[in-house]
Amino acid sequence: MAIFKGAGVAIVTPMYDNGEVNYDKLGELLEEQIAGGTDAIIICGTTGESSTLTHEEHLDVIRYAIDRVAKRIPVIAGTGSNCTQTAIYLSQEAEKAGADALLLVTPYYNKATQKGLKLHYTRIAQAVSLPIILYNVPSRTGCNLLPETIADLVTDVENIVGVKEATGNISQVAKLMSLVGDKVELYSGNDDQIVPIMSLGGCGVISVLSNVAPRQTHDIVAAYLAGDVEKSCRLQLQAIDLIGALFCEVNPIPVKTALNLMGKGAGPLRGPLCEMEEANAERLKKAMKAYGIL
């Protein structure tokens, strides 16, 4: 059984103006996501600015989300690192806190070989009992987890069960599913490719768009799962301009800006991320208005 089917939100980490984590706002956002039909919470991923959280903050945010969600929907903790031992530590602590699953990004900067990636993920998986979703986003990490490597991992390691696929390369996704489609839970990591990836056997999306449009993102996946591909495609295409605006600068700059425009109080970004360029912010506002969320 899949960890979840549907739209999981890669949720932001709200901040106060002084840069500290705003747990009150995080609680509000979590409640709004659940009320909006979101199928899972992915906490401390890229969108949650995990790379600029201290280890203590990282784990505190995970623990807070788990406690606040209280098993109403799955909470998947982002515990990846470019250090295998650090990823093991974060993963073990998330398991102790009650996470339902782990999301493990490929090691960034190190540029590990495929052999090294297998060893990295196997060692983490052996240190915990939770199901694991691999996260492949080479545009950010400089490291591509190849289909053959994923196939070996999901075949050989019992609790490696899924992949968040954000290469943008549909041919690579098709290759993966041809190798091991019956053994892997496939999630789109790109909001503009939900329908294409589901057509190859995907079971949902881990979404940035869900931060600002939880019900609409849920409905894209729900329609597809219900067999209404035409509706799913229509909803996907209606969101394309907004999705483009949400990625016109590096994530999570635009989505935090969007939440602030909506009065959600997501707060500032941590350096080295900075506020949006004025022209891009205007593009985002226009797209949000056209989509009916501003």
* Catalytic residue IDs: 135, 164
Nearest to 57 by CA among 98, 23, 87: 23
- Nearest-Å Rg of the Cα atoms of the chain is 18
